Amino acid sequence: MSYPVEQNEKFAKYAHPERLVSTEWLAAALEGGAPTDGKLVVVESDEDVLLYETGHIPGAVKIDWHTDLNDEVTRDYVDGAAFAALASAKGISRDSTVVIYGDKSNWWAAYALWVFTLFGHEDVRLLDGGRDKWIAEGRELTTEVPQPAPGEYPVVERNDAPIRAFKEDVLAHLGKPLIDVRSPEEYTGQRTHMPAYPEEGALRGGHIPTAASIPWARAAAEDGSYRSREELEALYLGEAGLHEGDEVVAYCRIGERSSHTWFALKYLLGFQNVRNYDGSWTEWGNAVRVPIVKGAERGSVPALVH
């Protein structure tokens, strides 16, 4: 870890406090001259492709999940060469401390952080509360787009297995805990897309058998920051019924909302083996002969799944 880890009472209770920074911490770091030294790079990653341009944290660069992190042709993430080119262009080196923030309680920021983790970027952190908290606190914004000196980023092969689950992995995982982070309407199969979002073309509605329904936003407080360790434990150990040491798979619709939950389970509660199923419902709800449960009950693992 190349940049000092923030110490505060809330973060100290989390399993990996080094994965979060507060708005106060970031403001102090910026006043202290970062990120001009290139050791700390602040990245904004939003759902809305134009939001960064309306004003962002001074010195922050933009990474767009759709145009920068997704492969243009295959439904996959960019490869090592494209990631290295992207990181370098944004002034990020392999040993940089990267702090990511974004709109909607860091929903897309967590997704970007997850993709950075696929490439094994060691020191990548979330700004707790994200863009909304920074703005709510009246902190500085600018429309000036930085022109960072290119970083030195090697071509690293993506290592998906530890944190990414594919459909076959999920089938093999059945019987172990799953967290469905979509809205209750999507979980029960009443609808196949987010409330107030357009239809996204899943042919079947419902959830993966035995998945617990914990909508992602329940892990976030009113101000967009993560809930305290106690609150998260009540949610995931209590309500979802996870136990220490469990292997967990989280999913949503395309893997973005579940990245937020993945972060909470892995870094805040310290589950070692948590994977994000990015194929999620847009794959599962269209796949042939995979088991689906409709309604509010979690359901049971079908006997004949191979």
Give the residues across from 248 on adjacent strands. Answer: 274
From CA 128, how far away is CA 235, in angstroms rounded? 19
Which residue's CB is nearer to other proteins, number 115 or number 269?
Answer: 115
DSSP code of residue 69: I
Q: How far is CA 170 from the centre of its chain?
A: 19
Q: Least separation, in Å, of the C-beta of 56 and other proteins?
A: 12
Distance of closest approach, residue 253 Cβ to other proteins, in angstroms:
10
Query: Which lies closer to other proteins via its Cβ, residue 37 or residue 48?
Result: 48
Residue with tokens 């290592």: 159
- Give the three-class secondary structure for 28: helix
Would you say how long the chain is, in residues?
306
CB 280 within 8 A of CB 253: yes
Q: Which lies closer to other proteins via its Cβ, residue 140 or residue 200?
A: 200
Integer angstrom CA distances of residue 263 from 109, 125, 229: 11, 10, 13
Q: Could you check whether the bond before residue 35 is cis, i.e. omega within 30 degrees of 0?
A: yes
Do residues 135 and 105 touch, judged by C-beta distance below 8 A? no
Other Cβ atoms within 10 Å of 204 Cβ, number? 14
User: Residue 208: beta bridge partners?
Assistant: none
CB atoms within 10 A of CB 142: 12
Q: Which two tokens stand for residue 1?
A: 């870890």
- Look up residue 194 and give its two tokens: 């987010």
Q: Is residue 206 flagged as an active site residue?
A: no
Rg over CA atoms, the chain: 19
Cβ proximity to other proteins, 56 vs 121, nearer residue: 56
Amino acid at position 206, single letter: G
Binding site for other proteins (CB under 8 A): 47-51, 53-54, 66-67, 72, 103, 196-198, 200
Q: Please say which residue, 24 or 53, places its beta carbon nearer to other proteins.
A: 53
Catalytic residue among 30, 252, 264, 269: 252
**Catalytic residue set:** 252
